[in-house]
Each structure stands twice: as C-alpha cells, then as structure tokens.
Amino acid sequence: MENLTAFSLFAIVASITPGPTNFIILSLNSRHKLSKTLPVILGSCIGAALLVLIIGIGLGSTLLAYPIIQKIMTLIGLIWLTSLAWKLYNYNPIIPSEQDNRKDPIGFLAGFFMQAVNPKTWMMAFAVISVYTKQGQDIWVNVSILSFIFFIIAIPCLYIWALAGRLSNRLFSKPKHMNISNKMMSILLLISVWGNI
C-alpha cells in the first residue's frame, strides 16, 4: 500500500510538471474549445500508460541493450516536437475563430503517438519500472496496476493544463497578446524538449 501511495505521488508530479505534452495541451486549449482538446488529453494519457506497461513487461531491457534504437527514437522525437513548436511559434491568431474551430490541429492519435517520442514520458516510464516495480511479484499484474493508476492520475493533471490554456485565452484576448503567448509557449516547449537530452 505504501508503494502505491508513493507511486501515486510520483504520477501526480510526473503528469503535472511542465513537459512537451503539457505545453501542447495548454496551447491547444487557448485556441480551441475543450471538446477539441479532450481527445488529445485522452490519447496522451493512454499512450503514456501503455508505454509504462510495454517498458515494464520487457521492452525497457531490450531498448537498454541497443542504444542505437534509443538514439533514433530520440532524434525522431526531437524533430517532431520541434516542428510542433515551430508551428505554434508561427501560428497566426488573427485567423477568424470559426475557421480556426473547424480545423482540428491534432487529435487522439497525435496525443497517443506523441508519447512514443516524448523524452519526458520515456524517462518517467523507466523510473516507474526501476523504482516502483516490486521484485518477486507477477510482473504483468504489478505493471498493469501501475499503468492503470498512472492513466487515472494523468487525466486530471492534463485537464488542469487545458484549463490554464482557457484562462490564458481570456487573459490574452487580443491577437497581439495571443501572438506573444504562442511564442512564449513554443519557446518553453523547445526548452522542455531539448533540455532533456
């Protein structure tokens, strides 16, 4: 029980602290309705929980045995998240809201697959397995429980970031202010991505 309490606290910290996923959700919800951000939140949470499960049942040791795979995955992740930051930096807030709301920039699948290239999620998954997996227990059961707990905790944590995005939209209601906010978010996204190398 103590292990699950400690893990729950870790999951809260891992989910709510700034990272690429958090900044993307904040940015999306500052420009779109929550209904368009929820699929990204759900996809991100499922993707992260599944990553914990896959690493926990053996992929983690395989990846550690082949560092070249890690390097390739890191490079792909850096390129993809940097391109998202570039799009956010150049986003034009003057586009009419009707046109903006019709187009979904990313959805469930993007949120899901983003976790496969998110350095923060990989570090968190390896930490979960190395610190919170008990020896001598059924690894499938143990890792499945941890993955499910992480999934349940991550949803409200990312939802808080979505609410912060909605608040930033109200604070930065003018196109000029929104432009500044987008540029700041894109820079923070780049820092969160490249700072984990």
Separation between Cα atoms, residue 180 and residue 87, nearest integer Å: 14
Tokens 């606290």 belong to: 9
Q: Which residues contact 122 (CB under 8 A, 6 or more apart)?
A: 51, 55, 73
Q: What's the rounded Cα separation, in Å, for the pair 17 and 135? A: 29
pLDDT at 3: 75
Separation of alpha carbons 23 and 164, rounded Å:
10
Q: End-to-end distance of the chain based on CA atoms, in angstroms?
A: 34
CB of 152 closer than 8 Å to CB of 10? no
CA distances for 1 relative to 4, 6, 7, angstroms:
5, 9, 10
Compute the C-alpha angle 113/114/117, nearest 5°.
100
pLDDT in tens, the chain (197 residues): 557 888 888 888 888 887 888 888 988 888 788 888 999 999 999 999 999 898 888 776 666 677 787 677 667 767 876 777 787 788 665 444 444 455 556 789 989 998 888 878 887 887 777 777 765 567 788 889 999 999 999 999 999 989 988 887 776 666 676 677 778 777 876 776 676 55
Rounded distance, CA 69 to CA 36, Å?
33
| Residues 111, 37 contacting (CB under 8 angstroms) | no
Q: What is the DSSP string of 99-159?
A: HHHHS-SS-HHHHHHHGGG-HHHHHHHHHHHHHHPPTTS-HHHHHHHHHHHHHHHHHHHHH
pLDDT score at 96 = 42
Domain that holds residue 189: 2-17+24-29+36-194
Its pTM surpasses 0.75:
no
pLDDT at 137: 63
Report the number of distinct structural domains present in the chain: 1
**15-61 confidence digits (pLDDT tens):** 888 788 888 898 888 878 888 899 999 999 999 999 989 888 877 66
Q: What integer pLDDT is reported at residue 95 of this predicted model?
A: 44
pLDDT at 98: 46
CB count in 10 Å sphere of residue 139: 15
